[in-house]
Each structure stands twice: as structure tokens, then as C-alpha cells.
Structure 1
């Protein structure tokens, strides 16, 4: 009975949102330090946009990735982890929007947050997102966006405009129509 209660508590945590606080980076039963969101895109007026921080890190599949590589392009930046239920749920949405907007000059970049590399690679083999991810096990990339995205808000999605400014944000798993509409609006500005 105790094991069942613990399992149900973990499932409730993952359904509401995700956060990593243990040494492995995975959530522990009873962890309530996550930031839940409804996944709705909030688009910022051009005059209110702040520059995205300059971030880079090791690519999940090797090399180094950075926002600077995408200078002059609209970039969708998604914070995710393999242990995060809502991240798994939104993965097909991100994959589909990335594929449909790539020809229009939109780039996607993932940030794998506080994860085990083997688990993250298995997630990517299963989901086949079609875009690279920074392996951010220590959470440094996420911290660079503090003030725009709470570090414990997993999943979260940002849209960076062509001028390198944060144009939109969603806390929680994004919905297809919300993401496609926001990406299209920022791209067409």
C-alpha cells in the first residue's frame, strides 16, 4: 500500500509539472518546488522584449551548441527532461511545429535540463525531434533565463525573435495551435 501511495504521489507530481532537485536531477516523491504552467503562449510587445542571454553548452549528441549559432533567425527554445511527463506529452507538438516551420527560417533548440545523458539520448531516439539539444545537466542554461523562466519550470518554451530578444514564453506543455500561432506571428513581424 505504501509503495502504491508513493507511486501515485510521483505520478501526480509529473502530471502537474516537473522539477529536479536530487543529485540525479530527477524529481523525488513529495517534491513541490516545480512551477506548473498552463502551456499558453504569452507574446511580449516588441518594446517590452529583453535580449536573450548568450548561452551555450555541450550538445546532447556532441559538439557545442549556442544561441549565437542562430543569429538573425527566429529560435524556439524548449526546456525539457526525459523524466518529465508533460515534456513527453508535448514532444510530438514540438517535432511537428519544428518540421512545418523550418523552411520558413525558424530553428528549434532543446535544452535538456538536469537529466541523465543516457536517459536523454533514449528519449531523443524514441521521439526523434529533428533538432538538437544542449545537455544542461547542471542547469546553467536555465539559470541564465531566470526572471523570464523560473529555473524549475519544466517544460518551458521561449521564442527568440530575429533580433535575439525574448518574444514569447510558455510555462508548461505547449499546445499545437498556440505554438504554431506564436511562431508564425513572431516570424512574420
Structure 2
């Protein structure tokens, strides 16, 4: 299945991945497919950290949200000993994404040498996949500039509850 065919099924995408993985190529591709790219402004709300993201999901049309919820689930415990986002809040958010005909996009690559974070992202997406579809994007060589003469061509493969996109260089 081609990427644009899969993207026609989703109205909402939440893009997340470890620090150091380039996402600008992916967000550029999403823009070309009619997605409005949004980021939560400011820090997580101290009482309801999911609120800014729920507000973003209220926007009309096709929406791609550069995440922060899963980032907090992963890096909160690794950097601060705990997360400001609870698993219940994250699961509720994943369900809200799914209800908006959406999916969570897990961007992977080799730039992040933090094995703990990579492993924590894998666990988080495995858990969230029970509540929303997960699209896994292998970003390829993150050291490659986002604007090169031969950009990667995405290819989509579908497994039961998970979509996987692999990036492959074209000649």
C-alpha cells in the first residue's frame, strides 16, 4: 500500500519519537498530503497536562500534531524520576486521537544513542497501540540533510494493529 493511500484513512496524526531523530522531512511530507502541522505552545499544564493537546484535536480538518505526551511519558521518568502525564491520561489521549480517525506516528532512527529512551518509546507505543493505531516510521539516516537531491521515498506495510513505514533511498 502506498503512503498516500494510508494517509487518506487518517484525519489526525500525532508525531512522536526520541530526541535527535529528524522529523522535518516527515512533517513536510504530511503538509504535502493536506495535513495542518500543529505544536502545543508552552509547557504542559500543571493540573491537566493533556488539555493543550485535546484543544489541538478540536481543530477542524486534517491535523498532524508534533507530540509531547509520549515524550513526557518517556523522558519524565528518565530525566526527573516521574512523568507529569499519567498512563490513564495518555490512554485517554490515544483514544481521542483514534476517535478523530487518527493514528500515533512513532518516528525511529539511529541518531538517538540513548537505549533507555528508545526502549521506553517502544514500550509506550506498544501499550498505546491497544487504544489507537500506531504508524512506525523509520527515519533512515538522521545525519542526512532533510533537503537533499534524493529524498527518501516512504513505503507502507500494514500489520494487524500497526502500520509501518520504511524509508528507502531512490536513485
TM-score exceeds 0.5: no
- The higher relative CO (CA closer than 8 Å, separation ≥ 6) is in 1
The TM-score normalised by the length of structure 2 is: 0.29
Alignment TM-score, normalising by the size of structure 1 = 0.27
